[in-house]
Structure 1
Amino acid sequence: MAELKSELDSDADQNYSLASNADPKNMQELTIYVQSILQNVQDKFQSMSDQIITRIDDMGNRIDDLEKSIGDLMQQAGVEGQEK
């Protein structure tokens, strides 16, 4: 979670520095500038979404492995598990 916050802070700093260095002079430059910022935000959002989904999938796999291990231990101990 701290990694995500530092990444967001870094991006905010970068966008702020871009804004102070590149003031749009006309409507076309403003449009390009806004599109660029929106594309950067969309790309970052997609990247974070992909990371979250990957972590959720990994956690699901770990939970499945843990359930199997517990089931195996219960079977070895002679304890009957309850059916789902």
Structure 2
Amino acid sequence: MQDGHDADDPKQSTADMTIFVQNLLQQMQSRFQTMSESIISKIDEMGNRIDELEQSINELRAEMGQEGSPSPSAPLKTKEDPKAADDSA
């Protein structure tokens, strides 16, 4: 009878090991899925922030263009500046 019992132990041990490995793989897959979703979420958030930053920069450029265009004195100063005249020559 002991021989029959010994024959079942390796089978039971193999089954237990298989279940253990399957559970471990499922846990790993779940963790990787969670990390993947988190990374994708962060990338989407960064993309949105970059889009907002780009829009803000474009708005600032537009404002500076509107403010800078009516001022004719700025180009005159560069012509009167001796350093500017030396650079252009």
| TM-score, normalised via structure 1 length | 0.63
Which aligned runs of 4 or more in structure 1 are off by greater than 4 angstroms? none
Give me the identity figure in percent: 49
Deviation, 1:33, is 0.3
What is the deviation of 1:32? 0.4
- Most deviating of 25-34 and 48-57: 25-34
Distance 2:17 2:64 in 1: 70
Distance 1:78 1:33 in 2: 67
Alignment coverage as a number of residue pairs? 55
Uncovered stretches (5+) of structure 2, i.e. residues with no partner: 1-11, 67-89
Greater relative CO, 1 or 2 (CA 8 Å, sep 6+): 1
AA matched with 2:60: L
Q: Identify the residue that residue 64 of structure 1 maps to in structure 2.
A: 51
Which is helix-richer, 1 or 2?
Answer: 2
2:40 matched to which residue of 1?
53
> TM-score, normalised on structure 2?
0.59
Query: Displacement of 1:29 after TM fit?
Result: 0.7
Structure-1 separation of matches of 2:17 and 2:54: 55
Equivalent position to 2:23, from 29, 32, 36: 36
Superposed displacement of residue 26, structure 1: 1.0
Q: Choose which of 73, 77, 81 in structure 1 pairs with 2:60.
A: 73
